[in-house]
Amino acid sequence: MDEKKIYILLTDTGTLFTRLIKLYTKRSFNHASMSFDRSLSEVYSFGRKTPSNPFIGGFVKENMESHFFNLATCRVYSCTVSTIQYEEMKCFIQKINDEKSLYRYNLLGLFAILLNKQLNRKYAFFCSQFVATVLQECECVHFSKPLSLITPQDLIKGNDFHLVYEGKLRNYRELEQRDRSLVPHGTRDLSPRSSLSI
């Protein structure tokens, strides 16, 4: 059976909003995104649509070259999936993208997590809820708790995900760009931690 890799990106952008969340979670990384390529050329999540306003959000294709992410620290995890699951996830996200005007950031859902209360809102996700929904809808991962209570750390529990990198996001992208320039096309080793150090 053909296999593919997907990537989960956990970040700490250091913004005021992130610092407020960290006061509750006591965790370093409080934003989750997903990508279908190791170089993170296309990264999807639910978050702020403009860097200056954390309260206006929705489905976003995140710009890893922005100042917002350039200063971020991160962890990158990989997961091996079947080609069918891989394509199903891409189609699922494409459907959301096609209807993105309907979707909103689930800010109320974050407050519900503080109270450990489920809050399912149609067309509304927060970042880790979105990633968990994609993974579960396409039968890649099954979570033992409601998706509306999934935190970024819940996404990578168990043996499905493997840590590829931890450090500055800009350094990861520089290492990936260097690797692509040094290795002939089609011969690159895509094993976890290839040319990367923690």
Q: What is the CATH number of the domain that holds 122?
A: 3.90.1720.10
Residue 119 falls within a domain, yes or no? yes
To which residue do tokens 């909003």 refer? 17
Q: Domain residues for 55?
A: 3-182
E-strand spans in the chain?
3-12, 31-35, 43-50, 53-62, 73-82, 104-105, 124-125, 162-168
Q: How many CA atoms lie within 13 A of 16 on its CB side?
A: 5
Give the pLDDT of the chain (198 residues) as one tens digit per residue. Answer: 588 999 999 998 766 666 666 655 667 788 999 999 999 999 999 988 876 676 788 999 999 988 878 889 999 999 999 999 999 999 999 999 999 999 999 989 988 888 889 898 999 999 999 999 999 999 988 899 999 999 999 999 877 899 999 999 999 989 888 877 765 544 444 433 333 322
The pTM (predicted TM-score) of the whole model is 0.85
How many structural domains comprise the chain?
1
Residue 115 falls within a domain, yes or no? yes
